[in-house]
Amino acid sequence: MAPKVMDLIYWRDVRKTGLVFTGLVIGLASLFQLSSVTMLSYLCMAIMCLTFPLRLYYKLLELIRKNPEGVHPFQSYIGDDSSLTDEETVLVVEKVVLMIAFAVTEIKRLLFIDNIMDSIKFVVLLYVLTYMGITTNGLTLVIVGVMCVFSLPLFYKQMQGRMKRISKVVSGLLRKIKNMFKMLYSKLRPSPATTPATTPTPTPAPKHKHKSK
Protein backbone atom coordinates (compact mmCIF):
# COMPACT_ATOMS: atom_id res chain seq x y z
CA MET A 1 0.00 0.00 0.00
CA ALA A 2 2.84 2.43 0.75
CA PRO A 3 4.09 2.81 -2.88
CA LYS A 4 0.52 3.31 -4.11
CA VAL A 5 -0.13 5.99 -1.50
CA MET A 6 3.14 7.74 -2.37
CA ASP A 7 2.19 7.66 -6.06
CA LEU A 8 -1.11 9.35 -5.20
CA ILE A 9 0.46 11.97 -2.94
CA TYR A 10 3.16 12.95 -5.46
CA TRP A 11 0.72 13.01 -8.41
CA ARG A 12 2.70 10.46 -10.44
CA ASP A 13 -0.54 9.42 -12.15
CA VAL A 14 -2.37 12.72 -12.56
CA ARG A 15 -5.64 11.17 -13.68
CA LYS A 16 -5.89 8.70 -10.80
CA THR A 17 -4.75 11.22 -8.18
CA GLY A 18 -7.18 13.82 -9.52
CA LEU A 19 -10.08 11.38 -9.25
CA VAL A 20 -9.14 10.34 -5.71
CA PHE A 21 -8.53 13.92 -4.53
CA THR A 22 -11.74 15.26 -6.10
CA GLY A 23 -13.78 12.38 -4.71
CA LEU A 24 -12.39 12.84 -1.21
CA VAL A 25 -12.97 16.60 -1.15
CA ILE A 26 -16.49 16.38 -2.62
CA GLY A 27 -17.40 13.51 -0.30
CA LEU A 28 -16.13 15.29 2.79
CA ALA A 29 -17.77 18.58 1.77
CA SER A 30 -21.08 16.76 1.26
CA LEU A 31 -20.97 15.64 4.89
CA PHE A 32 -21.76 19.24 5.87
CA GLN A 33 -25.29 18.72 4.54
CA LEU A 34 -25.78 14.94 4.73
CA SER A 35 -24.99 12.30 7.30
CA SER A 36 -22.29 9.70 6.75
CA VAL A 37 -24.88 6.91 6.39
CA THR A 38 -26.72 8.87 3.70
CA MET A 39 -23.47 9.63 1.90
CA LEU A 40 -22.43 5.98 1.94
CA SER A 41 -25.84 4.93 0.59
CA TYR A 42 -25.68 7.52 -2.21
CA LEU A 43 -22.15 6.44 -3.10
CA CYS A 44 -23.13 2.78 -3.36
CA MET A 45 -26.20 3.65 -5.45
CA ALA A 46 -24.09 5.82 -7.77
CA ILE A 47 -21.64 2.96 -8.33
CA MET A 48 -24.49 0.54 -9.01
CA CYS A 49 -26.05 2.98 -11.49
CA LEU A 50 -22.88 2.48 -13.54
CA THR A 51 -22.27 -1.22 -12.98
CA PHE A 52 -25.85 -2.48 -13.29
CA PRO A 53 -26.49 -1.28 -16.90
CA LEU A 54 -23.08 -2.56 -17.98
CA ARG A 55 -23.82 -5.97 -16.44
CA LEU A 56 -27.22 -6.08 -18.20
CA TYR A 57 -25.53 -5.15 -21.47
CA TYR A 58 -23.10 -8.06 -21.21
CA LYS A 59 -25.94 -10.37 -20.24
CA LEU A 60 -27.87 -9.27 -23.31
CA LEU A 61 -24.84 -9.99 -25.49
CA GLU A 62 -24.65 -13.43 -23.94
CA LEU A 63 -28.32 -14.10 -24.75
CA ILE A 64 -27.96 -13.12 -28.40
CA ARG A 65 -24.85 -15.29 -28.73
CA LYS A 66 -22.43 -12.41 -29.16
CA ASN A 67 -20.79 -13.22 -25.85
CA PRO A 68 -20.67 -17.02 -25.87
CA GLU A 69 -18.03 -17.27 -23.19
CA GLY A 70 -20.19 -15.33 -20.71
CA VAL A 71 -17.41 -12.91 -19.79
CA HIS A 72 -18.25 -10.89 -16.71
CA PRO A 73 -17.28 -7.20 -17.11
CA PHE A 74 -16.10 -6.97 -13.51
CA GLN A 75 -14.48 -10.36 -13.16
CA SER A 76 -11.10 -8.82 -12.32
CA TYR A 77 -12.65 -7.04 -9.30
CA ILE A 78 -14.71 -10.04 -8.19
CA GLY A 79 -11.85 -12.52 -8.50
CA ASP A 80 -9.36 -10.28 -6.73
CA ASP A 81 -8.43 -12.05 -3.50
CA SER A 82 -8.22 -9.37 -0.84
CA SER A 83 -8.22 -11.74 2.12
CA LEU A 84 -5.29 -11.89 4.51
CA THR A 85 -3.24 -14.95 5.34
CA ASP A 86 -2.66 -16.00 8.91
CA GLU A 87 0.82 -14.45 8.97
CA GLU A 88 -0.43 -11.16 7.49
CA THR A 89 -3.29 -11.05 9.99
CA VAL A 90 -0.87 -11.57 12.90
CA LEU A 91 1.41 -8.82 11.56
CA VAL A 92 -1.48 -6.36 11.17
CA VAL A 93 -2.79 -7.12 14.67
CA GLU A 94 0.70 -6.73 16.15
CA LYS A 95 1.15 -3.35 14.45
CA VAL A 96 -2.24 -2.12 15.67
CA VAL A 97 -1.55 -3.29 19.23
CA LEU A 98 1.90 -1.67 19.22
CA MET A 99 0.47 1.62 17.98
CA ILE A 100 -2.26 1.60 20.65
CA ALA A 101 0.24 0.71 23.40
CA PHE A 102 2.62 3.45 22.24
CA ALA A 103 -0.20 6.02 22.19
CA VAL A 104 -1.39 5.04 25.68
CA THR A 105 2.18 5.18 27.04
CA GLU A 106 2.80 8.63 25.56
CA ILE A 107 -0.50 10.02 26.86
CA LYS A 108 0.22 8.70 30.36
CA ARG A 109 3.72 10.17 30.20
CA LEU A 110 2.35 13.57 29.20
CA LEU A 111 -0.57 13.62 31.63
CA PHE A 112 1.47 12.60 34.65
CA ILE A 113 4.38 15.00 33.90
CA ASP A 114 7.21 12.62 33.17
CA ASN A 115 8.99 15.45 31.32
CA ILE A 116 8.04 19.03 32.19
CA MET A 117 8.85 20.54 28.79
CA ASP A 118 6.96 17.84 26.88
CA SER A 119 3.93 18.30 29.14
CA ILE A 120 4.05 22.09 28.63
CA LYS A 121 4.11 21.57 24.86
CA PHE A 122 1.17 19.18 25.19
CA VAL A 123 -0.80 21.75 27.19
CA VAL A 124 -0.10 24.41 24.55
CA LEU A 125 -1.22 22.00 21.83
CA LEU A 126 -4.44 21.24 23.72
CA TYR A 127 -5.11 24.96 24.16
CA VAL A 128 -4.62 25.57 20.42
CA LEU A 129 -6.94 22.65 19.64
CA THR A 130 -9.64 24.08 21.91
CA TYR A 131 -9.35 27.42 20.12
CA MET A 132 -9.55 25.68 16.75
CA GLY A 133 -12.56 23.69 17.97
CA ILE A 134 -14.38 26.95 18.78
CA THR A 135 -13.70 28.52 15.40
CA THR A 136 -13.93 25.42 13.20
CA ASN A 137 -15.21 21.85 13.38
CA GLY A 138 -13.50 18.52 12.90
CA LEU A 139 -14.77 18.02 9.35
CA THR A 140 -13.21 21.29 8.21
CA LEU A 141 -9.89 20.22 9.70
CA VAL A 142 -10.12 16.87 7.90
CA ILE A 143 -10.73 18.62 4.56
CA VAL A 144 -7.80 20.97 5.18
CA GLY A 145 -5.66 17.97 6.13
CA VAL A 146 -6.55 16.16 2.89
CA MET A 147 -5.67 19.26 0.86
CA CYS A 148 -2.35 19.59 2.69
CA VAL A 149 -1.50 15.92 2.14
CA PHE A 150 -2.11 16.22 -1.61
CA SER A 151 -0.40 19.60 -2.03
CA LEU A 152 2.44 20.16 0.45
CA PRO A 153 4.66 17.14 -0.44
CA LEU A 154 4.51 17.98 -4.15
CA PHE A 155 5.15 21.67 -3.43
CA TYR A 156 8.15 20.80 -1.24
CA LYS A 157 9.52 18.44 -3.88
CA GLN A 158 9.29 21.08 -6.61
CA MET A 159 10.60 23.93 -4.46
CA GLN A 160 13.16 21.93 -2.47
CA GLY A 161 16.26 23.63 -3.91
CA ARG A 162 14.86 27.14 -3.53
CA MET A 163 13.65 26.41 0.02
CA LYS A 164 17.11 25.13 0.96
CA ARG A 165 18.70 28.31 -0.35
CA ILE A 166 16.18 30.45 1.51
CA SER A 167 16.76 28.49 4.73
CA LYS A 168 20.53 28.97 4.36
CA VAL A 169 20.08 32.73 3.87
CA VAL A 170 17.73 32.97 6.87
CA SER A 171 20.04 30.92 9.10
CA GLY A 172 23.01 33.10 8.06
CA LEU A 173 21.02 36.25 8.83
CA LEU A 174 20.02 34.92 12.24
CA ARG A 175 23.63 34.01 12.96
CA LYS A 176 24.77 37.54 12.07
CA ILE A 177 22.09 39.08 14.30
CA LYS A 178 23.11 36.79 17.14
CA ASN A 179 26.77 37.71 16.76
CA MET A 180 25.86 41.41 16.64
CA PHE A 181 23.89 41.15 19.89
CA LYS A 182 26.78 39.30 21.50
CA MET A 183 29.19 42.05 20.42
CA LEU A 184 26.90 44.80 21.72
CA TYR A 185 26.48 42.98 25.00
CA SER A 186 30.22 42.55 25.41
CA LYS A 187 30.77 46.29 24.76
CA LEU A 188 27.98 47.53 27.00
CA ARG A 189 28.69 45.12 29.83
CA PRO A 190 30.26 47.00 32.77
CA SER A 191 33.84 46.01 33.47
CA PRO A 192 34.33 44.30 36.82
CA ALA A 193 35.47 46.72 39.62
CA THR A 194 39.15 46.45 40.39
CA THR A 195 39.67 45.64 44.03
CA PRO A 196 42.70 47.37 45.59
CA ALA A 197 45.53 45.10 46.47
CA THR A 198 45.64 44.52 50.21
CA THR A 199 49.10 44.75 51.69
CA PRO A 200 49.69 42.13 54.30
CA THR A 201 50.02 43.60 57.78
CA PRO A 202 53.27 42.65 59.45
CA THR A 203 52.85 40.40 62.40
CA PRO A 204 54.54 41.72 65.56
CA ALA A 205 57.60 39.85 66.67
CA PRO A 206 57.11 37.83 69.82
CA LYS A 207 58.56 39.38 72.94
CA HIS A 208 61.19 37.33 74.77
CA LYS A 209 60.98 37.43 78.55
CA HIS A 210 64.39 37.80 80.25
CA LYS A 211 64.89 35.62 83.22
CA SER A 212 65.99 37.50 86.36
CA LYS A 213 69.22 36.35 87.83
Residue in 26, 51, 30 with CA at minimum distance from that of residue 39: 30
Between helix 116-135 and helix 86-111 the angle, nearest 10°, is: 100
pLDDT value at position 171?
87
More confident residue, 118 or 200: 118
pLDDT value at position 86?
81
Range from 93-107, 126-140, 152-166, 186-200 carrying the lowest mean pLDDT:
186-200
pLDDT value at position 201?
58
Find the mean pLDDT for residues 42-69: 83
pLDDT higher than threshold 60 for residue 211: no
pLDDT value at position 102?
94
pLDDT value at position 213?
42
Establish how many alpha carbons lie within 13 A of residue 25's alpha carbon, considering only the half-sphere containing its beta carbon.
14
Residue in 121, 99, 97 with CA at minimum distance from that of residue 110: 121
pLDDT value at position 124?
92
pLDDT higher than threshold 50 for residue 52: yes
pLDDT above 90 as % of the chain: 10
pLDDT value at position 163?
81
pLDDT higher than threshold 50 for residue 204: yes
Find the mean pLDDT for residues 22-39: 85
